Amino acid sequence: MKILFSERAWRDYKNLPLRLRKAADKQLDFLLRDLKHPSLRAKKYDEARDIWQARLSKDWRLYFKVRSEAYVIITIIKHPK
Protein backbone atom coordinates (compact mmCIF):
# COMPACT_ATOMS: atom_id res chain seq x y z
CA MET A 1 0.00 0.00 0.00
CA LYS A 2 0.99 3.58 -0.51
CA ILE A 3 -0.37 7.04 0.34
CA LEU A 4 -1.74 9.33 -2.36
CA PHE A 5 -3.02 12.86 -1.77
CA SER A 6 -5.83 14.63 -3.59
CA GLU A 7 -4.98 18.21 -4.56
CA ARG A 8 -7.12 19.44 -1.67
CA ALA A 9 -5.46 17.10 0.83
CA TRP A 10 -1.99 18.14 -0.33
CA ARG A 11 -2.94 21.80 0.13
CA ASP A 12 -4.43 20.98 3.56
CA TYR A 13 -1.24 19.17 4.55
CA LYS A 14 1.06 21.97 3.40
CA ASN A 15 -1.00 24.53 5.35
CA LEU A 16 -0.83 22.63 8.63
CA PRO A 17 1.36 24.07 11.38
CA LEU A 18 4.65 22.17 11.71
CA ARG A 19 3.57 20.23 14.83
CA LEU A 20 0.45 18.98 13.03
CA ARG A 21 2.44 18.08 9.91
CA LYS A 22 4.70 15.96 12.11
CA ALA A 23 1.62 14.34 13.68
CA ALA A 24 0.21 13.72 10.19
CA ASP A 25 3.47 12.08 9.10
CA LYS A 26 3.38 9.80 12.14
CA GLN A 27 -0.28 8.87 11.64
CA LEU A 28 0.20 8.26 7.91
CA ASP A 29 3.08 5.93 8.76
CA PHE A 30 0.77 4.04 11.13
CA LEU A 31 -1.86 3.89 8.37
CA LEU A 32 0.65 2.35 5.97
CA ARG A 33 1.58 -0.27 8.54
CA ASP A 34 -1.85 -1.09 9.99
CA LEU A 35 -5.27 0.44 9.30
CA LYS A 36 -6.35 -0.87 12.71
CA HIS A 37 -3.57 0.85 14.66
CA PRO A 38 -5.19 2.10 17.91
CA SER A 39 -3.78 5.61 17.54
CA LEU A 40 -5.64 6.12 14.25
CA ARG A 41 -9.08 5.19 15.54
CA ALA A 42 -9.92 4.61 11.89
CA LYS A 43 -13.55 3.99 11.05
CA LYS A 44 -15.86 4.07 8.07
CA TYR A 45 -17.19 7.62 7.99
CA ASP A 46 -19.52 7.48 4.96
CA GLU A 47 -20.52 4.00 3.87
CA ALA A 48 -22.29 5.16 0.69
CA ARG A 49 -19.24 7.06 -0.60
CA ASP A 50 -16.70 4.62 0.92
CA ILE A 51 -14.96 7.34 2.94
CA TRP A 52 -12.92 6.57 6.05
CA GLN A 53 -11.91 8.83 8.91
CA ALA A 54 -8.75 8.60 11.02
CA ARG A 55 -7.47 10.65 13.89
CA LEU A 56 -4.60 13.04 13.28
CA SER A 57 -4.80 14.60 16.74
CA LYS A 58 -7.46 15.31 19.32
CA ASP A 59 -8.88 18.07 17.12
CA TRP A 60 -7.89 17.07 13.56
CA ARG A 61 -9.01 14.27 11.22
CA LEU A 62 -7.87 12.66 7.97
CA TYR A 63 -10.54 11.56 5.50
CA PHE A 64 -9.53 8.95 2.95
CA LYS A 65 -10.59 6.18 0.59
CA VAL A 66 -9.11 2.71 0.48
CA ARG A 67 -8.13 1.58 -3.01
CA SER A 68 -6.51 -1.68 -4.06
CA GLU A 69 -2.96 -0.29 -3.96
CA ALA A 70 -3.29 2.96 -2.00
CA TYR A 71 -4.92 5.04 0.67
CA VAL A 72 -6.15 8.17 -1.08
CA ILE A 73 -6.22 11.09 1.36
CA ILE A 74 -9.17 13.33 0.49
CA THR A 75 -8.84 16.07 3.07
CA ILE A 76 -7.36 16.98 6.45
CA ILE A 77 -9.62 19.18 8.53
CA LYS A 78 -10.30 20.32 12.05
CA HIS A 79 -12.79 17.95 13.66
CA PRO A 80 -16.26 19.50 13.69
CA LYS A 81 -17.60 19.31 17.24
List pLDDT tens digits, range 39-81: 999 999 999 999 999 999 999 999 999 998 999 999 999 987 6
CA-based R_g, the chain, Å: 11
List the CATH number of the domain containing 21.
3.30.2310.20
Instruction: State the pLDDT at residue 79.
Output: 86
Q: Which residues contact 78 (CB under 8 A, 6 or more apart)?
A: 59, 60, 61
Range of the domain at 56: 2-78
Q: pLDDT tens digits for 12-35?
A: 999 999 999 999 999 999 999 999
CA 64 – CA 74 distance, rounded (Å): 5
How many other C-beta atoms can be found within 10 angstroms of the C-beta atom of residue 54?
23
**Count of domains for the chain:** 1
Report which residue type is found at 13: Y
